[in-house]
Amino acid sequence: MNENNKFYFKMSVLLFAAFFIWHFGSSNKQGDSTVNSQKLPIKDKPAALENFVPLTLVLFKDSESILPKRNWSIAPLELQAEAAIAVKLDGSRVYYNKNINNRRPIASITKLMTAIVVLENYNLDDIVKITLKDIKREGARGDLRAGETITVRSLLSIMLVDSSNDAALALAGQKEDFIFLMNKKAQDLNLSNTKFSNPDGLDEQNNYSSAFDVSKIFSYIIHNHKEALEILKVKNIVVYSSDGEFEHRLKNTNELLGAVPEVKAGKTGYTDNAGESLTLLISDLYPNSVNNDIITVVLNSPDRFKESEKLIQWLKSAYIWN
């Protein structure tokens, strides 16, 4: 029995047990036949999670009457990535899963949460002065200079497009409780396998997430922070210091942008411990198919771009989209 089938079997057993307890437990209660099943509203629930179905239910929505339908003539996909997921943008269906709740370092994918905290707590037009401490961080990118002044908006672009650790540190340095805010947001989004200890994703024991949690972070950005999403869609961009003295020409670290038509946006990550990692927003898997936006995540892959493209091609053939 392959890993996917084992997972489905375990979930089937859990669901059956839950149904058994509910059915026979409720039958012993007086007056249960007239119980009002109206749902109470949930306050302050993030927009991206309003339709996010618990994973134990997601796996049983793959009905033959719901498009896309599984094409069982196509064998299950085997990826070398340590963890991976392909999930519908609203969380209502999981199309592929491998170790999706395993806690792992996620490297620069951490910067998605950094962007969320910045967008929800900063004025994008504020000016930041780059310090020597900012540019001494390992893995420097973005060509920032000590003493340079630059807007929060431009630093966001440098961080998300060029994956600059310097930009992430400069942004986080504007608030003493920045890491607390990252973890508070993780709590708010019910990310049970996520913890942050820095804003850039360099290897530290208490900086980790899971494939499933990463998909929820990216989903939250897509639904709630269009400015960040537009940055993640850009293949090349030029930004300037606030006084126009310094120019920063940026090339997106996501090599699949513009090369694979289905790829609309994404964020890369790499460290020695995290390995090659990548999350993508993909769509248009089949002509005339609608409402098929999907988030993919691969963590610790020997080749994040090849394996992500392999996953995309498998999704196109393993499911009937219209």
> Is residue 163 among the annotated active site residues?
yes
Q: Decide if 88 is catalytic.
A: no
The strand pairing partners of 299, in sequence order, are: 83
Q: Residue 65 catalytic?
A: no
Cα dihedral sign for 104, 110, 112, 117? positive
Name the nearest CA neighbour of 217 among 76, 52, 96.
52
Active-site hit among 111, 216, 310, 316: 111
Catalytic: which of 108, 215, 219, 277?
Answer: 108
CB 193 within 8 A of CB 82: no
Residue written as tokens 């890993």? 3
What Rg value do the Cα atoms of the chain yield, rounded?
21
88, 98, 154, 163: which is the annotated catalytic residue? Answer: 163
Classified as helix, coil or strand, 97 is: strand
From the CB of residue 219, how many other CB atoms can be counted at a distance below 10 Å? 26
Single-letter amino acid code for the residue at 5: N
Active-site residue set: 108, 111, 163
